[in-house]
Structure 1
Amino acid sequence: MAAVIPAVTRISSRIIRVLGCNPGSMTLQGTNTYIVGTGKRRILIDTGDSDVPQYINHLRSVLNYEGIDLAHIFISHWHHDHIGGLTDILEEIREKNNNCSILEHCQVWKFPRAQDDLPKNVAVEHLKDGQEFSVEGATVRVVHTPGHTEDHIILHLLEDNAVFSGDCILGEGTAVFEDLYDYMNSLQNIANIQPNVIYPGHGNVIHNPLEKIQFYISHRIEREQQIMDVLSNNRKQYFSEHDLVKIIYVDISEKLVKAAEGNVNHHLLKLLKEEKVKKENSLWQYNDKNIYIKTC
């Protein structure tokens, strides 16, 4: 059973977590958003889903109780449960500041994406890999970590050597991704930071970050081995992604089958590039031209 995450949690003197109140099979307890800094002007990381009044009420209460404003809003990536609440939050800021221009009070930042469908009438500045931002009590460095999505970033909090990982690393379970090759590289880049702690986009705080990252890397290697074992042991047979999920993923919830099929497809595309498998009419088969050596 997933751990209970309170609606609002003061994690440290410089971090307050506000839960997005949008639980689900893909969002776990909900999207974690984080207020970062110690002064009057602070940073908000991610904005939850759209049309969730409960989340906006919690965020408003924190801002009012702490007597703070938002200097920057950082979006980790384009998925609706991270950017969807942006317009609601900006409307809240407008009302709080008597309908003054948003840019006078808060800048919105996101790494660019080839086909970005951003909220209308919202000015969003483009982030760059390695860019740094400072507010009182907090300095964050942008690290581009594609894989989960092409525009995904993490934020490295330099004062604590902490990482806000978005959906690259979760507090529970494993993450889905658009590009496995990029995702594996991003995991290694986060490992190279050697963070003391990870604050994920979903799930609880990760206090054993290097162990968690290695688990993610090993899990992907293991999953690839499982796919290759099925194909190599049935070399004359063709398999769909759904066939492979039913064989490899034991006791998987029906709600997660499509996501698992997507992950298997990414593994297969990687293996296809490596000429370890072949594809015919949307079905997959072991490539007999490949000399595949099993690893222990």
Structure 2
Amino acid sequence: MSNSNSVNQGLKMNVIPKLSQLSSRVWRVLGCNPGPMTLQGTNIYLVGTGRKRVLIDAGQDGFPEYVQNLTKLLNDENVKIEHLVLTHWHHDHVGALPEIEPILKNDTPFVYKFPTIEPQDVPIPSSFKFTPINNNHILKTEGATLRVIHTPGHTTDHAILYLEEEKAVFSGDCILGEGTSVFEDLFEYMKSLNIILELEPKLIYPSHGPVIDDPSEKIQFYIYHRLQREKQILSVIQASEVPLTPTEIVRKVYQDTPEYLYPAAEVNVRHHLTKLIKENRIQENDDKFFVREDGKI
């Protein structure tokens, strides 16, 4: 299971069908890999209206029902995949690449992904034509024009896709249909949220959770949520008479969150702490955090 997703707040979730047509040019295939970090599963999208279409993400390996459903969709629609775009390297988005290879009807589709900054990127099976992409790369297929936009923060290679015909965004794990997302770099993540906000999408197709019909409100909530978390963390540190560990901060800030989600919450807290240290607003010693010696915060 990847560490890709939500610190979910116990929200009541709308049931997502395993296979559903969302618009005249968008089908959603549920990855059938439910879990605390993947919610009901990873959403994989088939985009276009012609005989050749674009697949967004590959899903997670080890879930044959998903592969069967994707196979059924391709056969029922009598279509092939000419392009496959990976939103980022996390396992629940790329792991099934070898498993879906046999259903591609002997095609060798292009696979697109932004490179990571890590020493080794995700391995792509040799039967695919892997193409590293640049920001604002345009992919066209019948009925759909997709602009791939680099939105780091969740991961260094994370990307969203803007569907021009619908003014819709495939948000990957940057914005979820339920709950909030984790991230590797809070500073970059906040910039990416603002990039999506500036697109003024009419619809968001997330990689986890249901379709988002109120994008602007959702994105602004995400931004507000992160700023509120920062204020909570600062307040907890300021109120404490002794330095606090990240685990102690989590227990004070995330009191309404189930304990099994505390590890994911701690990842978020640590990113906030790193940001605050860079801004000279707090100090750290031996993984314990406290206000600056001059008392400023």
8 Å Cα contact 1:142-1:154 kept in structure 2: yes
Q: Deviations for 1:87-128, whole angstroms, at most 9, x for unmatched residues?
A: 1111222xx33xxxx43xx11111111231324435421111
Question: What value does the CA root-mean-square deviation take over the aligned residues?
Answer: 1.1
- Which AA in structure 2 matches 1:38? T
1:290 CA displacement: 5.3
1:254 CA displacement: 2.3
Task: Tell me, in whole angstroms, the C-alpha distance in 1 between the residues paired with 2:142 and 2:76.
Answer: 18
What is residue 143 of structure 2 aligned with on the other side? 137
1:129 CA displacement: 0.4
8 Å Cα contact 2:97-2:125 kept in structure 1: no
Give 1:63's match in structure 2, choosing from 69, 74, 85: 74
Are 1:253 and 2:258 counterparts?
yes
8 Å Cα contact 2:124-2:130 kept in structure 1: no
Task: Report percent identity of matched pairs.
Answer: 48
Task: Tell me, in whole angstroms, the C-alpha distance in 2 between the residues paired with 1:244 and 1:281.
Answer: 15
Paired residues for 1:84-95 under 5 Å? 84-93=95-104
Task: Tell me, in whole angstroms, the C-alpha distance in 1 between the residues paired with 2:74 and 2:103.
Answer: 11
8 Å Cα contact 1:148-1:177 kept in structure 2: yes
1:255 CA displacement: 2.1
Task: Tell me, in whole angstroms, the C-alpha distance in 2 between the residues paired with 1:59 and 1:225.
Answer: 44
Q: Deviations for 1:40-65, whole angstroms, at most 9, x for unmatched residues?
A: 00000011101211001000000000
- Of the structure 1 ranges 191-200 and 124-133, higher mean CA displacement relative to structure 2 is found in 124-133
Paired residues for 1:1-296 under 5 Å? 1-93=12-104, 96-97=105-106, 102-103=107-108, 106-115=109-118, 116-121=121-126, 122-234=128-240, 236-289=241-294, 291-292=296-297
- Which AA in structure 2 matches 1:289? D
Task: Tell me, in whole angstroms, the C-alpha distance in 2 between the residues paired with 1:289 and 1:30.
Answer: 48
Match of 2:273, SS? helix
- Of the structure 1 ranges 246-255 and 218-227, higher mean CA displacement relative to structure 2 is found in 246-255
Task: Tell me, in whole angstroms, the C-alpha distance in 1 between the residues paired with 2:75 and 2:267.
Answer: 42
**Length, aligned pairs only:** 283
- Which AA in structure 2 matches 1:163? V
Match of 1:264, SS? helix
Task: Tell me, in whole angstroms, the C-alpha distance in 2 between the residues paired with 1:275 and 1:120.
Answer: 45
Gaps of 5+ in 2: 1-11
- Which AA in structure 1 matches 2:20? T
Task: Tell me, in whole angstroms, the C-alpha distance in 2 between the residues paired with 1:188 and 1:9.
Answer: 30
TM-score by length of 1: 0.93
Larger RCO: 1 or 2 (CA < 8 Å, sep 6+): 2
Task: Tell me, in whole angstroms, the C-alpha distance in 1 between the residues paired with 2:103 and 2:194.
Answer: 38
Task: Tell me, in whole angstroms, the C-alpha distance in 2 between the residues paired with 1:223 and 1:156.
Answer: 29
8 Å Cα contact 1:276-1:290 kept in structure 2: no
- Which AA in structure 2 matches 1:48? G
8 Å Cα contact 1:275-1:290 kept in structure 2: no
Task: Tell me, in whole angstroms, the C-alpha distance in 1 between the residues paired with 2:237 and 2:85.
Answer: 43
Q: Deviations for 1:268-291, whole angstroms, at most 9, x for unmatched residues?
A: 000000111101011111113253
Match of 1:168, SS? coil
- Which AA in structure 2 matches 1:251? D
8 Å Cα contact 1:187-1:217 kept in structure 2: yes
Match of 2:176, SS? coil
Task: Tell me, in whole angstroms, the C-alpha distance in 1 between the residues paired with 2:37 and 2:130.
Answer: 26
- Which AA in structure 1 matches 2:29? V
Task: Tell me, in whole angstroms, the C-alpha distance in 2 between the residues paired with 1:149 and 1:184.
Answer: 13
Task: Tell me, in whole angstroms, the C-alpha distance in 1 between the residues paired with 2:122 and 2:97.
Answer: 13
- Which AA in structure 2 matches 1:242? T
8 Å Cα contact 1:63-1:69 kept in structure 2: yes
- Of the structure 1 ranges 138-147 and 120-129, higher mean CA displacement relative to structure 2 is found in 120-129
Task: Tell me, in whole angstroms, the C-alpha distance in 2 between the residues paired with 1:91 and 1:61.
Answer: 13
